[in-house]
Chain A
């Protein structure tokens, strides 16, 4: 009885620590994405590094943590850089489901993370395409492919690679895998 109480207290401490660490990391990443990268537009597009961070959490932590981060980060990204209606929380949650199914089958490593980024960027450009279709209705598809979608794919892939190490740093103090319980 006494032992169970000690475990619960440790879990709660770890949960608080996790929320603080992931909260801070996502806050910085989202801000970086909405200010630094949206200003620079490397390769001609803003990279979605938040999505890369979620891939990292999926690989280095678990789906539950990734799902919570997805909803919160989606809302935060929309708050910083989008006009309602915007569907980022739902999109990120969908990504967690799809990419989570893939990440279950691969070993957690940087190479695996890079491989996981391939479907990630495809999902990202699909979401951009859908958004453009919703907001613009008609647009030149070929031109959009060259000027928006391909640069976004490249930019997201390249700039999400270092995010893996950021998430790995975040995961270290919270002893990931198995402690994120509700």
Chain B
């Protein structure tokens, strides 16, 4: 303890007291200790280096030390990504559904007297020989045989078979289909029927009086004759006019508004449950 009594120690003690008090007093008065500030400035680059090295060491060590934690985090992130992807898919489905509902609303606005039922196509034809779609609506939803089915583009076909909660729709391009029609430009009345040859091209034939005035590009609408289709639904356009060599009759090839070659892209349809002026069903 002799050291404590030495002049040297007393000087050191005084210096230490000054070094403790001066910054404290300066700080109390809101002043900056220039010496402390200078030391901090000088040490700053070294501190920066130290921190960077510490970060590197920490990162290196944590690879081994936190392996389980990282693995767990990785799994959680994978799950989060999967969830987000599912959400994205859901959003896409909702987007499509939204577009479909807009179309549905458009059809309703165009045909206020129609009682419409929307349906989702749940399956397409099993083979390549017929244009038959299955929709998720049946008798429990009020669907009956021979009800017309339309899309936002135009006439698709009719209900050819109906079950409890499903129904089959036969397209207008099928040879079993026959629709009474008229053209918009001259009001020529005729019948659109499916043709086995044209079906593969997604087209159908229109028969009419040979003297009638029909041109390529004329629009064809349902006339409301017969018991299936209501009046005024757009069916298609005249694509060409040909003479049937066997019967010597003039026939027009009609290209339906509904693209029968791309039915896979069709998600939903509208079944017309009822309309003003309905005669059968």
Are B26 and A39 in touch, CB under 8 angstroms? no
Please classify how large the interface on chain A is, using the bins under 10, 10 to 19, 20 to 34, 35 or more. 35 or more
Partner of B39, one of A28, A39, A80, A84: A80
Are A90 and B12 in touch, CB under 8 angstroms? no
State A101–B4 Cα separation when bound (angstroms): 10
Are B47 and A34 in touch, CB under 8 angstroms? yes
Are B3 and A100 in touch, CB under 8 angstroms? yes
State A101–B23 Cα separation when bound (angstroms): 30
Q: Which of B50-58, B93-101, B124-132, B159-167 contacts A (4 or more CB under 8 A)?
A: B50-58
Q: Which residues of B contact A93 (CB under 8 A)?
A: 12-13, 16
Are B43 and A27 in touch, CB under 8 angstroms? yes
Are B16 and A89 in touch, CB under 8 angstroms? yes
Are B39 and A76 in touch, CB under 8 angstroms? yes
User: Does B46 lie at the interface of the complex (its beta carbon under 8 Å from any beta carbon of A)?
Assistant: yes
State A80–B51 Cα separation when bound (angstroms): 13
User: Does A131 lie at the interface of the complex (its beta carbon under 8 Å from any beta carbon of B)?
Assistant: no
Are A79 and B36 in touch, CB under 8 angstroms? yes
User: Does A182 lie at the interface of the complex (its beta carbon under 8 Å from any beta carbon of B)?
Assistant: yes
State A76–B48 Cα separation when bound (angstroms): 16
Q: Which of A64-72, A114-122, A144-152 contacts B (4 or more CB under 8 A)?
A: A64-72
Q: Smallest Cβ distance from B13 to chain A, in angstroms?
A: 6
State A27–B46 Cα separation when bound (angstroms): 9
State A68–B15 Cα separation when bound (angstroms): 10
User: Does B9 lie at the interface of the complex (its beta carbon under 8 Å from any beta carbon of A)?
Assistant: yes
Are A39 and B55 in touch, CB under 8 angstroms? yes
Partner of B47, one of A63, A78, A80: A80
Q: Which residues of A contact B54 (CB under 8 A)?
A: 35-37, 39-40
User: Does A133 lie at the interface of the complex (its beta carbon under 8 Å from any beta carbon of B)?
Assistant: no
Q: Which residues of B contact A80 (CB under 8 A)?
A: 39-40, 43, 47
Chain B: interface residue total (CB-CB under 8 A): 33
State A86–B55 Cα separation when bound (angstroms): 28
Digit string of B28-63 for contact with A (CB within 8 Å is 1, else 0)? 000001011001100100111111011101100000
User: Does A47 lie at the interface of the complex (its beta carbon under 8 Å from any beta carbon of B)?
Assistant: no
Q: Which residues of A contact B26 (CB under 8 A)?
A: 84
Q: Which residues of A contact B49 (CB under 8 A)?
A: 35
Q: Chain B: which residue is nearest A80 at the CB level?
A: B43
Are B19 and A75 in touch, CB under 8 angstroms? yes
Q: Which residues of A contact B262 (CB under 8 A)?
A: none
Are B15 and A71 in touch, CB under 8 angstroms? yes
Are B51 and A36 in touch, CB under 8 angstroms? yes
Q: Which residues of B contact A31 (CB under 8 A)?
A: 43, 46-47, 50
Partner of A67, one of B12, B27, B33: B12
Q: Smallest Cβ distance from B70 to chain A, in angstroms?
A: 18
User: Does B80 lie at the interface of the complex (its beta carbon under 8 Å from any beta carbon of A)?
Assistant: no
Are A40 and B57 in touch, CB under 8 angstroms? yes
User: Does B20 lie at the interface of the complex (its beta carbon under 8 Å from any beta carbon of A)?
Assistant: yes
User: Does B1 lie at the interface of the complex (its beta carbon under 8 Å from any beta carbon of A)?
Assistant: yes
User: Does B89 lie at the interface of the complex (its beta carbon under 8 Å from any beta carbon of A)?
Assistant: no
State A82–B122 Cα separation when bound (angstroms): 72
Digit string of A141-174 for contact with B (CB within 8 Å is 1, else 0)? 0000000000000000000000000000000000
User: Does A140 lie at the interface of the complex (its beta carbon under 8 Å from any beta carbon of B)?
Assistant: no
Partner of A35, one of B27, B35, B50: B50
Q: Which residues of B contact A85 (CB under 8 A)?
A: 20, 23-24, 27
Are B16 and A74 in touch, CB under 8 angstroms? yes
Q: Chain B: which residue is nearest A86 at the CB level?
A: B20
Interface CB pairs A-B, < 8 A, 16: A27-B43, A30-B43, A35-B46, A35-B51, A36-B54, A68-B12, A71-B12, A74-B16, A75-B35, A79-B33, A79-B35, A79-B40, A80-B43, A89-B20, A93-B16, A97-B9
Given A75-B19, A79-B35, A80-B39, 14 additional A-B pairs, CB 8 A: A27-B43, A31-B47, A35-B47, A35-B51, A36-B50, A40-B58, A70-B16, A75-B35, A76-B43, A78-B23, A84-B23, A85-B23, A85-B24, A89-B20
Which 9 A-B pairs have CB atoms at the shortest separation, nearest pair first?
Answer: A35-B50, A39-B54, A85-B24, A89-B16, A36-B50, A35-B47, A79-B36, A84-B27, A84-B23
